[in-house]
Amino acid sequence: MGDLSRYSMQHTLGGGVSACVRSAIDTQTKERVALKLFNEPYLSRKRNLRRISKEVMAMKAVSHPNVLKLIDTVGFSNGVPKSSKHLQAGLVLEEATHGDLYDFVSMTGKFSEAGATVLISTVLKALQACHNVGVYHKDVKPENLLVNERFDIKLADFGFATYKSVSEGSVLRSSCGTRCYAAPEVLRRAEYDARKIDVWSAGICLFVLLAGHPPFTEASSNDTWFQTFLDGRSDEFWAALRQQYPWFPEQGIKILSAMLNVNSEQRPTATELLKEDWLCPSEEAILEFKEEMKNKAAAIHKMKQTSTILIK
């Protein structure tokens, strides 16, 4: 367990009900890190303590360039976070200086086909690494895909993750994260293959990258297009998409049709998807993606500066 005093606090990166995330400098290594400091009221519930412990176990189990690295924990005792007026519990994480992918889409619009294929293949590689060691993320969405200074993508926030022995299999029944990214079998509260629900969520992400918005307004029977999928009439959705967005890549539709297959048994795994040529981007595509990310990051920085000036 680390010591919080070794970190020099910098600016706030974000926060929510459960925690505040601060940029910090490790005074011993001089490296920049992100500190996810849990709010004391959040730690007062045993359920949340169990969730944090599971989050730490899951992150420690996975080592991959596209999974956010857990460097250390502070304020933990026997794997459980402790917090008081004199002690704050948190996670020491590698810093992602460019924020999350949600901002890149919401503030600058959709990605090019090359950019989308590089991004989603990266996410699938991260999921493959997780699934290979029995970690299932269960909350894949653009907000949980972070971007570092080199524009590498990092799968983050394992707060809903499940970590099981590979020999136990991947069938689960526990709740998941964000509803609009959740697979139909999760919404039915049935047993599900956790590998396949991560693939469904990644499919929603891919659609967002290519179109600039989600495929459904909400994941419920109240949404006409979502119900179309549930009724086995997804071909109608793809036909309407082609008419509205004639530029939408056909290979993208082919991959999305597989990832968003309502029948989870027919939905491919991350490993199977990574064998598809469309999800094996060339060096040229990777360079194009890096340039696209650089341009989007500059545009976001300019917009935020303008916003700050207007507020002042």
What residue numbers does the annotated binding site for ATP cover? 36
Q: How far is CA 78 from CA 42, 201, 221, in A?
A: 19, 33, 44
Task: Say if CB 67 and CB 110 are below 8 A apart.
Answer: no
Measured between alpha carbons, how far is 227 from 218 in angstroms, rounded to an integer? 10
DSSP label of 79: T
Please count the other Cβ atoms lying within 10 Å of the Cβ belonging to residue 7. 21
Side-chain half-sphere exposure of 78, counting CA atoms within 13 A: 1
Q: Residue 65 corresponds to which tokens in the numbers above?
A: 């360039």
DSSP bridge pairs for 70: 93
Q: Which of 100, 139, 157, 193 is catalytic?
A: 139
Measured between alpha carbons, how far is 242 from 195 in angstroms, rounded to an integer? 29
Nearest partner of 265 among 172, 201, 160, 195, judged by Cα = 195
Tell how far CA 253 is from the center of its chain: 21
Sequence-distant (6+) residues with CB within 8 A of 76 are 1, 56, 82, 89
Query: Exposed e or buried b for every residue in 115-124, given b needs 16+ CB within 10 A?
Result: bbbbbbbbbb
Q: Is 198 an annotated catalytic residue?
A: no
Measured between alpha carbons, how far is 109 from 51 in angstroms, rounded to an integer? 34
**Binding site residues, as ranges?**
36
If you search the block for the tokens 């990166």, which residue do you land on? 13
Residues annotated catalytic, as ranges: 139
